[in-house]
Homo-oligomer: A and B are copies of this chain.
Amino acid sequence: MKLNDRGLLIVISGPSGVGKGTVRKALFEMKNHDLIYSVSMTTRPPRPGEVDGVDYYFVTKEEFLKRISEGKFLEWAEFVGNYYGTPLDKVEEQLDLGKEVVLEIEVEGALQVRQKAKDAVFIFIVPPGKKALYDRLIKRGTDSPEMIKKRMEKADREFILAHKYDYIVVNDDVNNAADRIMAIIRAEHARTERTIHAYMKMLKED
C-alpha cells in the first residue's frame, strides 16, 4: 500500500559517456513498474514517421518562446537553431496519474530542473572511476581523440556537482544500477515528507 498515489519525477543525470541511456533502457525493461519517459517539446520539424506527443511535442518557435516566458519548462536548451525542452504541464499531468516520470538529461539541464521541481528525485550516475569512463569512451568508438579529451574535461567539471543530487549510483553493471534506481523509487514513495499528509488524513478518516 502506497500512502501517496502521486508519481515521482525521477531525474537521471551524470557525466557525458557514463551510460545514462543504457541504464535508463535497462530500467524500463524491468517488470512491474509505472515508469514513463518524459516526452520533450521541440521547434524542430518532425522527421518522417515521428508522431506528435509520442516522439516529441512539435510546436512553433513563437509557442516555445511564449512557454519559456511563462515559466512552463522544467528545463530547456537551444541546439543548432532549434529549441528543446521538458514541458512542466505535461509532466504534472502524468505525475497526477500516478506515473513515475523519468527524465534522462545532461547535468546542466538537471540543475535547471532542481530549481523548478523541489520534490523531484535526483540521481547522479557515475562511472566506477575516471579511467573506467575513459575506457568506455574509447570502446564506444564514436568520438575522435580530441572529442574524448573534451568529454573527459567536461566530466571533470561535472563530477564535482554530485553533491547537488540526492543519490549517487555507480554504473559498474547496468542491471545493478537499474535495480538500485528501482529501489530508490520504491523507497522514496515511503519517505516521511511524501507520506505524512496522506497518513494523517488516513488516521482522521478511520
Contacts and interface: CB of A to CB of B under 8 A. Distances in A.
Interface of A: 1-3, 123-124, 126, 128-132, 159, 162-163, 165-170, 172-173, 176, 179-180, 182-184, 186-188, 190-192, 195-196, 199-200, 202-203, 206
Contacts of A123: 190
Interface-central residue, A3, A130, A179, A203, by most chain B CB under 10 Å: A203
Contacts of A1: 128, 170, 172-173, 176
Contacts of A186: 179-180, 183-184, 187
The quantity of this chain's copies bound in the complex is 2
B131 A199 contact: no
Given A1-B170, A2-B170, A168-B196, 7 more contacts: A1-B172, A128-B202, A163-B192, A168-B190, A182-B183, A183-B183, A184-B187
A19 to B, nearest CB: 13
A131 B8 CA distance: 30
Interface-central residue, A129, A188, A190, by most chain B CB under 10 Å: A190
Given A128-B1, A206-B129, A190 B196 contact: no
A30 B41 CA distance: 44
A185 to B, nearest CB: 8
A168 B195 contact: yes
